[in-house]
Every structure is written in structure tokens, then in C-alpha cells.
């Protein structure tokens, strides 16, 4: 009976040892998994930073093959569609020359504005001069009135 108790205590001790070793192994594997996950996250972050840096340096918008389709300033940077009726880029079927079209509208408008400004300044000068003349006539009339009053009064 003593032997059975000793065997049972030994068996229980073996089970405890096995359970402890299994728990320690489980903790060790959990630590390894946690370290691997942290390393994976760090690698992923480093890879994203490197990718962003690469895109910043080598894949800019204006360097892409389709940038001319997406350029918001394309109309401003583009040359004019044509440079007059005798433009060499116009072909037989280009339909770029239209009867009654005013290619010199911008220049004509600028000249008209300048003429208007000149006319306006001339008119202002005329009105100012007329006002000065009227003021001079009134002053002269007042002086004559004063002279006549002084002549009449002895």
C-alpha cells in the first residue's frame, strides 16, 4: 500500500512537471509569436515608409505617361490652336478657318480701350478747363461790379 501511495505521488508529480513544462512551452511560444508580430509590424511600417519615399522621388504626377491628360494647367500651357489663317499646322480638313472669324479681337479691344481712355482724359480736361474759365469770368464780373460800385459812390 505504501508503494501504491508512492507510485501515485510520483505519477501526480510527473503530471505536475508535464503540466508546468507545457505551460512554460506555451508561454515561450506566445512570446515568440508576439515578437514575430512586432517584427512584422515594424517591417511593414518600414516598407510603407520606403514605398512612400520612392513614390515621392520617382513617381511624381508630372512624370507619368498620362500627365498630359490630367494636367489642370494644360489649356494655359498649350500653344494656341492656330496662329492665323496661314498656319502651317492646318490641313485640308482641319476646319480651323471660318469666315467672319476675328483673330485680332484682342488687339482691337486693347486699342479701343486705349482710345476710350484718351477720349475720357480729354473730356475731363475740357470740363476742368470750362470750369476754370467760368470761375474766372465770375471773378472778373464781381471785380467790375465792385469797380462800378466804387465809381458810383463818391
Q: Domain extents for the chain?
A: 2-59, 124-154
* Overall pTM > 0.75: no
Left, alpha or beta for 42 (phi > 0: left; psi -120 to 50: alpha)?
alpha
b vs e for 117-126, b when ≥16 Cβ sit within 10 Å of the residue's Cβ? eeeeeeeeee
Q: Give the other-Cβ count within 10 Å of 130's Cβ.
A: 10
What are the residue ranges of helices labelled H in 63-104? 67-70, 74-77
> pLDDT tens for residues 42-56?
999 999 999 999 989
> pLDDT tens for residues 65-80?
777 777 888 888 888 7
Amino acid at each position: 500500500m505504501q508503494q501504491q501511495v508512492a507510485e501515485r505521488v510520483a505519477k501526480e508529480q510527473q503530471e505536475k512537471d508535464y503540466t508546468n513544462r507545457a505551460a512554460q512551452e506555451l508561454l515561450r511560444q506566445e512570446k515568440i509569436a508576439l515578437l514575430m508580430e512586432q517584427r512584422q509590424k515594424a517591417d511593414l511600417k518600414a516598407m510603407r515608409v520606403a514605398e512612400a519615399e520612392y513614390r515621392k522621388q520617382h513617381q511624381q504626377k508630372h512624370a507619368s505617361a498620362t500627365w498630359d491628360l490630367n494636367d489642370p494647367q494644360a489649356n494655359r500651357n498649350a500653344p494656341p490652336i492656330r496662329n492665323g489663317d496661314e498656319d502651317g499646322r492646318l490641313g485640308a480638313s482641319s476646319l480651323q478657318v471660318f469666315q467672319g472669324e476675328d483673330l485680332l479681337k484682342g488687339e482691337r479691344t486693347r486699342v479701343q480701350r486705349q482710345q476710350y481712355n484718351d477720349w475720357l482724359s480729354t473730356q475731363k480736361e475740357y470740363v476742368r478747363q470750362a470750369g476754370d474759365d467760368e470761375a474766372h469770368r465770375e471773378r472778373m464780373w464781381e471785380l467790375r461790379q465792385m469797380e462800378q460800385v466804387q465809381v458810383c459812390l463818391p
